Structure 1
Amino acid sequence: MSSPVFHNFPGNALPGDDPLLIRPMRTEDLPLCRRLVSEAGWNQTDEDWLRAMKLDPDGCLVAESGAAAVGTTTCCRFGETGWIAMVLVDPAYRGHGIAGKLVQHAIACMQRAGVKSIRLDATAMGQKVYRKLGFREEYEVIRYEGIAGEEMPGNALQTVLSTDALMDEVAGLDQKATGTGRRVFLENLDMTKASAYCLKTDHEGKPEGYAGYRVGRKAVQIGPAAAFTEHAGRAVLDTVLGGFRGSACLIDIPAENKPAIRWAESRGFKIQRSFIRMYLGEKPLDRPDWIWACSGPEKG
């Protein structure tokens, strides 16, 4: 486990002059995580936090001031690429640099582990913090929200589980689009019953698109999804959406993927907000025009 690290703030930077302790996250922190998500109006569930702790137990962090746990962040490493997410601070403790210290600690953890490209999806509130730490803007990700229509088709494509041989095809397709080997994450979504994947193949049986989902606290998060053609992208997203007729849904789409945006708007989805995908270190080599739905801000 990571060793706790103290960051001291001068004067009255923190209530009560307490030092800031950053320590590894534990399952006992779930009530804190749940409260911070609810206060921020985010969509993550306890299962999302547990998944983060399973995938990278040393990279999930909690900030403490005195006896109070006041902030969180998570890391997830895929080889030389890492993601920072879930940077949340108790409203009563904001404005004291806690978010920045959490991110600094997360960066240090990943750099020690050999991560060369650190990425995150920044909210409007977080962008200033990340720029000060050296992050650069990569591209915009637009969040759409809507209700899955009752007229959506049922599952017309092949369903793939983590135990299937075709999971190799799903993971390979995902890696071509994201530039990152995320198989362990994709398998975990299925093994925890958070998702199953639909796979679209061409007339020769070669994979050309896939999509998954997870059920969140407030809505179904459509994604991850990747496709090489517009026809495949529309097919896999329609298939996933068809499994949640009448349900509130969210989907995060790179602004550069115009066909995916046209699909979302054609299905009645509206823009909720946007994120800026940012990176520190080596520039990632992904294909946002092939990314039809991100996994959410937690894993890209």
Structure 2
Amino acid sequence: MVTPFLDADIPPFLSLAKEEGWICHRWEFDFLLENFPHGCVVKRDGKSALGYITSVRYGRSGWIGNLMVQPGFRRCGIGRELMQAAISVLHKSGVKTVWLTASEQGFDLYRRLGFVQIDHICRWVGEGAGRSLSKPGVPDFDLAQGVDREGWGERRDAILQATCSRGSFFTSSAGFICCQRREGGVQIGPWGCLVEAQASSLLDQALSGVKGRVFLDVPASNLAAGALLGQSGFFVKGRSTLMYLGTEPRYHPGKVFALASMGSMG
């Protein structure tokens, strides 16, 4: 039986996700359950949760993330059932393009469901600068919304508001960057820029005053981002596949320097 995701499901999910090495936090579920609760469901056997999935809608686009099945019940069709449930909800809500990032283990399932590879996502890891720069001006949130839309082809105001309000947020005349504190370090993202020359100064501001581990998910097709991070001492620690289902998106990876979340919300 597939039923709605409840608050009581969050702690066991986070525990299981930690065992799998995922980076996710309670606030993400609060965001998802507030913005798209009917797209977050659980496969149950009586009172036992066998699998989970979350999804969220941004206009005519949607993201699927956090597909997780209990180890003892994998390869039993539960993942497919949950994926089909989430896709159905997104389509009924008017979504034309469904996004996700696929691990190596999940790639074949998503391909069989009709998802198409559009890019790879590289997880970069590095260290903060540990020094403070001069205090920036007031960040321009309207500019950030416009830059993000240029990269993804869709308005994603809700996720931008949620992430940029959680940490340090900087803008330039043609770009923006957000720095969120997470368990085990600091995440950079979302990060978008329309002028490559401004990306370096945005990164410097994000790393200013940050000590310890820094990580971010970056489209592999954004060669400028990869070159900048390599020059800044970052290295690639992991890789996933960016896929979509439905209408081909107006995706411009050269304008997307880092995703807003570590795989769960785009």
Same structural fold, with TM-score higher than 0.5 when normalized by the shorter chain = yes
Q: Is 1:105 the counterpart of 2:77 in the alignment? A: no
What TM-score do you get using the length of structure 2 for normalisation?
A: 0.94
1:44 positional shift: 0.6
Give the Cα–Cα distance (whole angstroms) in 1 for the partners of residues 32 and 113 of structure 2. 23
Give the Cα–Cα distance (whole angstroms) in 2 for the partners of residues 261 and 181 of structure 1. 25
Secondary structure, aligned partner of 2:34: helix
Q: Is 1:212 the counterpart of 2:178 in the alignment? A: yes
Query: Which residue in 2 is equivalent to 1:92?
Result: 72
| Alignment CA distance shift 1:181-1:235 (3 Å) | same
1:211 positional shift: 0.6
| Alignment CA distance shift 1:172-1:68 (3 Å) | same
Matches for 1:148-297 after TM superposition, within 5 Å: 148-150=128-130, 154=133, 157-160=136-139, 166-191=140-165, 194-201=166-173, 208-244=174-210, 246-296=211-261, 297=263
Secondary structure, aligned partner of 2:62: strand
The 8 Å contact of residues 80 and 116 in structure 1, kept in 2 or not, is answered as: yes
1:111 positional shift: 0.6
Secondary structure, aligned partner of 1:158: coil
The 8 Å contact of residues 159 and 196 in structure 1, kept in 2 or not, is answered as: no
Bigger-Rg structure (1/2):
1
* Aligned AA (2:102): A
* Aligned AA (1:167): F
Give CA deviations for 1:165-219 in whole Å, capped at 9, x if unaligned.
x32111111111221101122112245xx23420012xxxxxx110113222333
Give the Cα–Cα distance (whole angstroms) in 1 for the partners of residues 172 and 23 of structure 2. 28
| Higher RCO structure, 1 or 2 (CA under 8 Å, sep 6+) | 2
Give the Cα–Cα distance (whole angstroms) in 1 for the partners of residues 50 and 230 of structure 2. 39
The 8 Å contact of residues 227 and 291 in structure 1, kept in 2 or not, is answered as: yes
The 8 Å contact of residues 25 and 62 in structure 1, kept in 2 or not, is answered as: yes
Q: Is 1:74 the counterpart of 2:68 in the alignment? A: no
The 8 Å contact of residues 159 and 197 in structure 1, kept in 2 or not, is answered as: no
Query: Which residue in 2 is equivalent to 1:119?
Result: 99
Give the Cα–Cα distance (whole angstroms) in 1 for the partners of residues 179 and 74 of structure 2. 32
What TM-score do you get using the length of structure 1 for normalisation?
A: 0.84
Give the Cα–Cα distance (whole angstroms) in 2 for the partners of residues 213 and 190 of structure 1. 8
Give CA deviations for 1:223-258 in whole Å, capped at 9, x if unaligned.
0011112221111122112242x2211111111111
In structure 2, runs of 5+ residues without a counterpart are none
Give the Cα–Cα distance (whole angstroms) in 1 for the partners of residues 207 and 72 of structure 2. 39
The 8 Å contact of residues 143 and 175 in structure 2, kept in 1 or not, is answered as: no
Q: Is 1:44 the counterpart of 2:24 in the alignment? A: yes
| Alignment CA distance shift 1:243-1:153 (3 Å) | closer
Aligned residue pairs, count: 265
